[in-house]
A = this chain, B = another copy of it.
């Protein structure tokens, strides 16, 4: 999902943002011929994500920088671990540093938070999935980080799946159609590869929705007891997604209701950056 083309476009834009007309400090302070080695070091433990992005920030700043990644995305690391080693022209390494860190810290932060959720539901059938509550411009990076942390992805965008919510249903049935009829019409309109998910607020809606043959049913803001009852009602006729206000404290109980999917907006909208640093050694 995180293709070289996607990485390079976003990293190049970030480098232009951070040095629109060059790095004044490096140019004024560092001799043109100086070289540097640097280590990406974990200042706290976590799950790694963004290795290729880190390397791209170095390479796009200066093809003369060599980057060796020590971990694959998705691997756990302890405090003090060296995650990557870099060597090349000193000016360039210093110019690339902040952008490389900004990506990797954010992605590893998301991966680490995701891994905590995934760990919390261990042994259940529930997948931890992301949402569209991503940082504008960084969706493929954040979705990749969720996968690094052991999570799964929900739909990518508004274009590739249909998600019918309650106020949609109200409009659909305003003319007298039943919920089932209305959803069958939706299914008839959309492409056969377009996933059809429907959100319900109450247990009594479930049967009407299932009768239309949907792919996933989202139980929104259900209590744990309601979720358990919902799962029983669906009885494997569709995927069941729990959604709404999920936290690390509540996710285990939700998973144990037997739902297939638990979507967590906080994975991407509220993960904090992981503390990674670049230890640079300059040589004249």
A residues adjacent to B (C-beta < 8 A): 1-6, 10-31, 34, 60, 62, 90, 95, 98-99, 101-103, 105-106, 109, 127, 129, 132-140, 143, 152-164, 167-168, 170-172, 174-175, 186, 189-195, 197, 215-216, 239, 260-261, 266, 269-270, 272-273, 280-282, 284
A252 CB to closest chain B CB (Å) equals 20
| Chain B minimum-CB-distance residue to A109 | B270
- Tell whether, in the assembled complex, residue B273 and residue A154 are in contact, meaning their CB atoms are under 8 Å apart: no
Q: Which chain B positions have C-beta within 8 A of A22?
A: 1-3, 6, 140, 158-159
Contact with A102, one of B133, B190, B261 (Cβ below 8 angstroms): B133
Main secondary structure of the interface of A (DSSP, over half): mixed
Closest B residue, CB atoms, query A265:
B273
Report the separation of the CA atoms of residues A116 and B274 in the bound assembly, to the nearest whole angstrom: 22
Q: What is the total number of copies of this protein in its complex?
A: 6
A25 to B19, CA, bound (A): 21
Could you say which of B135, B154, B174, B280 contacts A106, with CB atoms under 8 Å apart? B135
A129 to chain B, nearest CB (A): 7
Question: B269, A272: Cβ atoms under 8 Å?
Answer: yes
Shortest CB-to-CB span from A217 to chain B, Å, is 12
- In the complex, 8 of the A-B residue pairs with CB atoms within 8 angstroms, ordered by the A residue number, are A6-B22, A23-B159, A30-B168, A136-B138, A137-B137, A159-B160, A170-B282, A171-B284
